[in-house]
Every structure is written in structure tokens, then in C-alpha cells.
Chain A
Amino acid sequence: MTLSEFIQRTIRNFLIIFALIMIILTFLRQMYDPNLAFDLMSIYIIMGFSLISALTGFILYSANETSENNMRIRLAIHFITLEILLVALASIMHIVTSVSAALTLALQIAIVYIIVRLLSWNKDKREASKINEKLKSLKKGSNGSPK
């Protein structure tokens, strides 16, 4: 992937994250507190969180081919950076005001991160299974057996 493609993907990710948070918040507000209005500051905070989340994707970008171990290290750095940045931003914005609240937020971020990774891995596993089935039939075909 070229750098320009990666930047395009980062912008797309930022917009998707921002849009999803806004959609979910709108529905939650509709259900639990329909009279409460969105203030401008809240929208800027959500925008900031979304941008930072998308920008950390640069940790996973490499112009050259990287080994599996290197990618795993990058993934760990990505997760830690995301945790630190989001908890720090929440702290600056006075969204979390105590250590326990910060730890709870960190735990929530970790759970979401793990769920996203697991869902992605599960999808890849299904895709790999389809590929393996086709590879098997290809090998059977090339060995002279019927497809």
C-alpha cells in the first residue's frame, strides 16, 4: 500500500469512526434522554477522539514488507498508544476525573479493541477456509481426480 493510499484510508477511517459514534449517540439519546441537546463542545470532543483513533493507524503502516513478529510488536504499540492517548484526552477534557474512572475507560477500550480484533480474525478464518477448500479441489484436479 502506498503512502497516499494509506492517508486516504486513514481519512476514511476517521469519517467512519466519527459517523458511527454520532449515529449510536443519536439513537441512545433518542431512547434515554430525547430532550438533551448536543452541545458544540461534545461534537468537537468526539471529533478529536475519532481523529486520534484513526491517526494511530500510522503505527501499523510500513513502506516495506515487515515480518510477522514486527507486525505483532506494532500491534502491541498501537494498542498501548491508543489506550494512553484516549485516556489522556478524556482526562484533559475532564471526562474522567479519578484513577478508577480512568482504569474503567482503559478496560472498556481494551475490551472493544479485543472484540474488533476477534471479529476481524473470525472473518479472515472463514475466508481462509473458503480459499483452502478451493485449493484442495485445485490440487485434486491437477492430480487427475475429478473436480
Chain B
Amino acid sequence: MKISLEEISKQLEEEILIRCHEVDEEIHEIMGKLKAETLVILGYQNEKVHRINMKDIYYFEAVDGRVFAYCSNDVFEVKQKLYELEDLCHETSCFRASKSTILNITKISSVHPSVSGRFEAVLDNGERTVISRQYVPVLKNMLGL
């Protein structure tokens, strides 16, 4: 695939344009990667606002009506609802893993079945989180299985 680069003036908005013969899985994958690279979420911690890059977020979790973004070592509160984040993360590497979590596939180290009939994801930072049985097909679909 030919890759072109064009420098534009500061007045114009930056954009990435993909010209392809057909929008296939590979194109969707490239778009997902680009979206994850450029998507920034505002996270609140100790009355400070942080710009968190989507690719640094391990997972989102809703707890008692509040939503938190979990990074490698930090936890930030985000103002969006879980379903809003789900829309925002559409076509990125994130997927709904249970009623209360959205998980970043790129941060999953491995997946194991649990005795209770659910799946448990071990993340790169060693944290463990549940993947509900009903969302396993979503993960498999995203992985092309």
C-alpha cells in the first residue's frame, strides 16, 4: 500500500484520508488503531484534569453511578456514561466486557475460564477482570474468530 504525506498550513484541519478499493477488515483495523492513537479522554484525579490517551487505558468501570478509567498505575474518574464511552470507543480496540466494564483488547495478557462459567481476563499490569459469557462472542468477533 502506498503511503503519502502532505504538509498543510496551520489554518487547515489535520486529517487522515484512506483511499482504498474496498473497506475490508484490514482497513477497519487500521482505522481502529488510528482512532485509539488519537482519541483522548478527560480524566479527573485530585481536582486536576488529565488528558488520557485511549491507548493508555486498560479498562473503564462503572461503580455506584460513577465511571472510572484504569491505566497502568492510575485511576481517573471520567464524566461520560459507560454507554457514551461505548459509542466513543466504537471501531477502537475496546469492547463491552460486562454490564459495568469496557475493556481494551490490547491490554489483555491472557483469558481464562473460571469455575463459575465466566471468563477472566488477566491484564498486562497483572489486574484481573471478568468477561461475561454473553460478551465473549464480541471479543471473538473483534479478534476475527
Listed in ascending order, the chain A residues whose CB lies under 8 Å from chain B are: 1, 64-65, 68, 71-72, 74-75, 117, 120-121, 124-125, 127-128, 130-132, 134-135, 138-139, 142
Contacts and interface: CB of A to CB of B under 8 A. Distances in A.
Given A135-B105, A142-B106, A71 B118 contact: yes
Contacts of A127: 113, 136, 140
Contact of B113 (A74, A124, A139): A124
Interface of B: 33, 98-101, 105-106, 108-120, 130, 134, 136, 139-140, 143-145
B145 A128 contact: no
Contacts, number: 64
B143 A65 contact: no
B67 to A, nearest CB: 14
Contacts of A130: 140, 145
Contacts of B130: 65, 68
Given A1-B134, A65-B98, A135 B111 contact: yes
